[in-house]
Structures are given as C-alpha cells and as structure tokens.
C-alpha cells in the first residue's frame, strides 16, 4: 500500500514508552516514512507514568508529536489534519480510543485504519465478556483496514467478532540504526539478560528460564531490566536489576551478555505467530537468543544461527554455558 504524503496517528506515549515494544516500532516506522517523503502527526496523551521516563528523542523533520492532557484540547486541530490525511490510524490501548476512532471515521481521510498491537489480549477480553476500552462501540467494521500484530487465527476472529472488513498482519520491526552489533561493555557482561515489564502471565516462564538458571549458575551474572516488578519479587544475589535502561544502551546490553532471553505473554502464545519486539531487536544485534516456544516461531527467524528454544532451566543453563565456548 503506497501512501502519498501523510500519516495521522492516535496513540498514547508508545513513541516514548520505556520497556514497551511499541516505542521502538513507532520510532523506526516514523523515521522510515519520513525518509520516503511522508509527513507524520503523532497525537500522544501526556500521562505521568510515561512522561517520567522520556529520553528526549528528537523526531526527524517531517514528523510532529502533539502532547495533550485532554482529548477535547486537540480535537479541532486533529479533525482539520485528518481531512487532508492519506491515512488515519488509531491503535489498541489508546487512552482516548473510542473518541479518536469516531473522529477518524467521521473524517475525509483517504484510508481509515485501526492497528491492534494487542490482538490476543483484545480477543481474550471479548471472549471473557469484558469491555475493551480502546475499541469503538460499533466494533471495527467502519475501518477500511485493520492491522494486527499477530498472525494465525486472529485474522478470522477479528472479522467474526469485531466485523473487520480487511485484515492484514503488520508484525514487529526494528530500526537498524538503533539495533545493530555494537562493542560490548564490561559493566553489562554476564551470562544472560532479559528486558521486559513485569507481567503475571510471564512469571512462570521467567522463573523457569531466568531465576532457576541464576540459582544453578550462582557464580555467573544475570541482568534483568524492566518496570513494575513487585516488592516481593524473589531476587537472587547474582541478578542485577536495571529499572530504567536508556534506549541507546539496549543494543550494548544485548551484545555484552552471552545470550538474551525472550519471554512471550500468555495470551500471545495461545494464538501463535506472535513475535515480540525484543525478538527482532536481539536478532538485529546478531546475538544468541533463548526463547519460550510458540507456534510459528521458526518462520520468523529462519536465518538466525544462534537461536534456541527452551522450556526448562537445565536446557537454558546448558545453552548459556555453550556460548562461553562459541
């Protein structure tokens, strides 16, 4: 789909969000679109828990970020821009999702689209009878295009449950200028690293593939980075915690440890075909990776030589030791 000159986004602070896969996805996409001659307007709700971790990233010429406190404050300006846009896009977890979708659907934008970066979560909530706050009341039937972050049977469910007319996958991606092989730093050296916000449905895999290996390899250094870990989290003496790691150092961390771990959210693994942003970031850095398994995993990293799947800590430990010799 070739777009002439403008994209319009409604999304919270994902462009700046620490520990969220979508921060780097949006930055990479925006940079690439501007290089191809497009212009971008990105509307972002200014919420304190993301504002505190902004890294002052400078968006390229041709892209604009509009912070707002209340949707009503930018509604008129956004409506004017939308009427001249080649593509208008709202996404999952937009804090003003229904209002943004309504504004888009009532506009003269050439293509009206919705991007669900959390498709399994969306569909799981619907199956449980829960209200999904970022969806428009009438479902997705009004959009010309619905993009999804995962593959598999999610396509059919978006059509049958939400009335989506045209559905296509748009998987994660990385900016090769940000994630690439770099020189390792001694302060980040270790056996295994893991970057990820705490999530209850990842905890079992985290214990099996990170905490237990740390117990078994007590002489080795393990590095964990991310937010929202509870006060009663069972830390080990050889686990070094990074609550806030600047984006500019992510590649350095990946390249300084012998392997990096990927753990997928439970709802994602249920659907399969759900590569996380971390998977692509580590692959772009050319490092060894360990991951839990989900259906379709091998199709995304066919050329990745140092990629291992594991469900048990013994295999994880073996792989980490293997990297010492390779």
24-29 mean pLDDT: 82
Q: Which two tokens stand for residue 232?
A: 């009663």
Distance, CA of 9 to CA of 116 (rounded, Å):
13
pLDDT-above-90 percentage for the chain: 40
Q: Render pLDDT for 246-298 as a digit per residue (tens, 0 to 9).
A: 778 999 999 999 999 999 888 888 888 888 888 888 989 999 888 888 888 87
DSSP per-residue string spanning 237-266: TTEEEES---GGGHHHHHHHBS-EEE---H
Select from 26, 108, 13, 121 the least CA-distant residue to 68.
Answer: 13
Bridge partners, residue 308, by sequence? 290
82-107 mean pLDDT: 92
Distance, CA of 49 to CA of 91 (rounded, Å):
19
Q: List the alpha helices (DSSP H) in 163-296.
A: 203-206, 212-216, 250-256, 266-271, 277-284
Confidence of residue 155 (pLDDT cuts 50, 70, 90): confident
Q: 1: how many CB neighbours lie within 10 A of its CB? A: 8
Confidence of residue 118 (pLDDT cuts 50, 70, 90): confident
Q: What is the pLDDT of residue 298?
A: 79
Q: Which of 83-97, 148-162, 195-209, 293-307 has the lowest mean pLDDT?
A: 293-307
Q: What is the pLDDT of residue 285?
A: 93
pTM of the model: 0.82
- From the centroid of its chain, how far is CA 113? 19
Helix axes 21-35, 277-284, angle to 10 degrees: 60
Segment holding 7, helix H or strand E: strand 6-10
Which of helix, strand or coil describes residue 118? coil
């Amino acid at each position: 789909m070739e777009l002439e000159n403008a994209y319009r986004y409604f999304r919270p602070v994902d462009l700046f969000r620490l520990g969220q896969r979508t921060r780097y996805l949006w930055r990479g996409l925006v940079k690439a679109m501007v290089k191809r001659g497009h212009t971008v307007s990105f509307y972002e709700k200014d919420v304190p828990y993301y504002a505190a971790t902004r890294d002052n990233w400078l968006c390229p010429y041709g892209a604009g970020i509009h912070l707002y406190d209340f949707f009503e404050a930018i509604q008129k300006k956004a409506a004017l821009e939308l009427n001249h846009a080649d593509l208008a896009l709202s996404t999952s977890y937009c804090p003003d999702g229904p209002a943004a979708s309504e504004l888009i659907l009532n506009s003269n934008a050439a293509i009206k689209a919705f991007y669900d970066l959390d498709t399994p979560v969306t569909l799981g909530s619907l199956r449980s009878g829960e209200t999904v706050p970022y969806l428009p009341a009438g479902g997705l039937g009004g959009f010309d295009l619905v993009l999804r972050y995962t593959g598999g049977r999610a396509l059919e469910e978006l059509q049958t449950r939400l009335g989506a007319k045209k559905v296509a996958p748009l998987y994660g991606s990385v900016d090769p200028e940000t994630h690439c092989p770099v020189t390792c730093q001694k302060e980040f050296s270790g056996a295994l690293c893991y970057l990820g916000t705490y999530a209850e449905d990842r905890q079992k895999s985290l214990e099996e593939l990170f905490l237990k290996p740390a117990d078994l390899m007590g002489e080795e250094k393990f590095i964990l980075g991310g937010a929202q870990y509870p006060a009663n989290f069972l830390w080990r003496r050889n686990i070094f915690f990074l609550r806030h790691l600047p984006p500019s150092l992510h590649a350095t961390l990946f390249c300084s440890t012998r392997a990096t771990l990927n753990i997928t959210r439970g709802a994602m693994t249920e659907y399969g075909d759900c590569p996380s942003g971390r998977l692509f970031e580590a692959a772009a850095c050319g490092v060894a990776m360990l991951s839990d398994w989900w259906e379709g995993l091998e199709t995304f990293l066919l050329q990745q030589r140092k990629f291992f799947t594991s469900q048990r800590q013994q295999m994880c430990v073996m792989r980490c030791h293997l990297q010492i010799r390779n």
